[in-house]
Amino acid sequence: MNGLETMYYDNGKAVKLHTFLDKNKKKLMDYNVFYIISFNSEKDPLTIKFGVAMKARDSFNRLKSYVISHGKHQSSNKCLGVNLHYLGVTKYNDRGHYTKTRIWRTEKFLKRYFKEHKMVMKDRGSERIKSITIKTIIKIANNNDVGDDIETVIRKSKRNDPKPEHKVGDKIKAQWTSNDVKRQGGKKGWYKAEVIKENDKSIIIKFEDGYEKLVKIDDIPNEIFMRKSKR
């Protein structure tokens, strides 16, 4: 799809995500990934989610987090389990910012496309859509070549550092990780938050319970998954 190396695609047929990860952990090392998945817990079986993982050596853990949150397939409970419909990859390159990668630009294009065509599920984030086939998503992506990864020269001058996409006042949903649970208690998951500070290297977000968290720019694709307009 759109210049990505296909690691999994079977003409739209899904495979159990936990089974795929058990067999392909080593293959996922050092790859940026673009994935299309669905959850058995969804009320509407036509709902799918797409996303990316671009942190070095962390693609496996990003996908594994879905299995931890939604469980493995069980015959006794049909609501458990995550289905993998597509997985495209590119080799991780530490000489370029994530916004310069084919993976990231592909996701950004699809988010914009589905939003413009009013296919995004209301209040579910810009990566959740329904009533569309995997073949159609791939066709849409292939019709817009976003280009190859671009290597950038890292400079010490702040003027040349990439700026965070999220700005002060943005309303988002952010991941509550195991480290957050250790500090604050509660449960892992995704919760509403607001960007309260930003600089060239990171942003600080504040959850509704008052807990503040620093997120580095390179971690933003994994830590933050939804951006809303300012209230």
- For residues 170 and 135, state if they share a domain: no
**Structural domain count of the chain:** 2
Per-residue pLDDT at 230: 44
Dist. CA 23–CA 27, nearest whole Å: 9
> Do 215 and 203 touch, CB atoms closer than 8 A?
yes
Give the per-residue pLDDT at 213. Answer: 85
CATH number at residue 209: 2.30.30
Do 132 and 197 have their domain in common? no
- Is the pTM for the entire model greater than 0.85? no
Query: Which letter does DSSP use for residue 131 in this model?
Result: S
Q: What is the pLDDT of residue 131?
A: 78
Same domain, 31 and 137: yes
Confirm if 171 and 179 have CB atoms less than 8 A apart: no
Q: Are 168 and 211 contained in the same domain?
A: yes
Q: What was the pLDDT predicted at 146?
A: 55
pLDDT at 95: 67
Res 16: pLDDT: 96
pLDDT for 147 equals: 55
Is 187 contained in some domain? yes
pLDDT tens digit sequence for 66-91: 999 999 999 999 999 999 999 999 88
132 and 88 assigned to the same domain: yes
- Confidence at residue 51, expressed as pLDDT on a 0 to 100 scale: 92
The domain in which residue 165 lies consists of 158-228
Out of 96, 116, 142, pick the residue that ends a domain. Answer: 142
Tell me if 150 is assigned to some domain.
no
**Which stretches of the chain score pLDDT less than 70?**
2, 56-57, 95-98, 145-165, 219-231
**How far apart, in whole angstroms, are the C-alpha atoms of residue 58 and residue 75?**
30
- Pick from 174, 179, 158, 155: which is nearest to 95 by CA? 155
